Amino acid sequence: MNVSREFAISLDNQDPLKHFREEFYVPDNQIYFDGNSLGLLSKRSEKAVHTLLESWKKYAIDGWTSAEYPWFYLSEEIGRQFAPLVGAKPNELINTGSTTTNLHQLVASFYKPQGKRTKILADELNFPSDIYALRSQLQLKGLSPDEHLIQVKSSDGHTLKTEDIINAMTDEIALIVLPSVLYRSGQLLELDTITKAANERGIVIGFDLCHSIGSIPHELSHWGVDFAFWCTYKHLNGGPGSVAGLYVNEKHLGREPGLAGWFSSHKAKQFDLENILPPALTAGAYQIGTPHVLSLAPLIGSLEIFSEAGIHAIREKSLRMTDFLIDLIEVELEDFQFQIASPIAHHARGGHLYLTHEYAASICKALKTEGVIPDFRSPNGIRLAPVALYNTYEEIYRAVHIIKRIMIEEHYKKFQNKRGVIA
């Protein structure tokens, strides 16, 4: 394996996506490897925000229909642009809400406990917010979360086995909600195999795509996934608090959502102001309230970039980058007790790498003082996310050598080994 700086530079020179780095505001004197928590601002997103602000100033109330990007249809228009990223039809998508709000909406719509089918299947490694929402939905149905929420166990504390997930699909399961990529280890689940097993058993299944959308391709409609939901501020670079998205399989469209609101309406009938909801015939029915227009704006610019780069090219580069990162870690950090907890195989790895170390929190703090921005995850994890659109191979080389120097000089021992307020 070649882990030299010269090799890294040669990879950058040959990179067909390298020009996209110029689209982003990359912090000076920093190596930003936290794009799986918050992506960087692009110049196109910045321009789109100014455009939407100008439309408010220029058109006032008429911006709903007369602006360059009419606000009334903006959630639907942006939603359609997710189609190539998730492998869905335009009518199956809507840009709305937040991740957890959308999960509540989808569970309220698709969780129909009947007879012995009363349980929800999740996993013990999922992001806690999803689990909070599932427990809440069970309580709203008058059911005990301790009895009715089944969480697939991990055999190693980092990954899930497909066979364990499928074996848990008993005739008591009414709904399945799983992450596509585990937020700590970065494991990419076998979404097609898991979905097929759920479909064969007549169980509704949905996925949290927060750590995969914008980083890996999906084929949600082809696989037969019932629903999915995601945030847009990580790999999609939509900015803090940017509006989330959801997918509902075409076979479920045309019905009333579990949580209805004004923007659940059929667009042509919304201002008839009827007391009985005429639901939209698209995934737009799963909206609840008025679109957050100014928080939608950055996605206009961001999704243009994804359309030009192509999700398959992004995935190819992402895998090459994490391959190079793995090689460097194995060669340069072998004496410092780091463990790679992410899967090595391409088919099982998402867009970030997860290292464990006894002093992970201290090491992350030391790295920040050296201009490397990682992401600590309790209890002992360091996430590193080289993002295909704006990171370089040479940055990966430098980051690993900075980690090595921090360990040799024991610089990390100057810091408390516990997380900050935001980790």
Residue ranges of the binding site for pyridoxal 5'-phosphate: 99-100, 127-130, 208, 211, 233, 262, 290
CB atoms < 10 A from the CB of 111, how many?
A: 22
For 260, half-sphere exposure in the C-beta direction (CA atoms, 13 angstrom radius) is: 12
E-strand ranges in 160-278 read 173-179, 204-208, 227-230, 245-248
Distance CA 407, CA 159 (A): 27
Please give the distance of CA 285 from its chain centroid, rounded to a whole number: 22
Instruction: Give phi and psi for 152, each to the nearest 5.
Output: -60, 135
Distance CA 81, CA 304 (A): 9
CB atoms < 10 A from the CB of 400, how many?
A: 21
- Grouping H, G, I as helix, E, B as strand and the rest as coil, residue 248 is strand
DSSP secondary structure code for residue 104 in this structure: H
Strand partners, 204: 175
Amino acid in the structure at residue 187: Q
Annotated binding site: 99-100, 127-130, 208, 211, 233, 262, 290
- DSSP run (H or E) holding 121: strand 119-123
Q: Which of 183, 148, 150, 179 is nearest to 167 (CA)?
A: 150
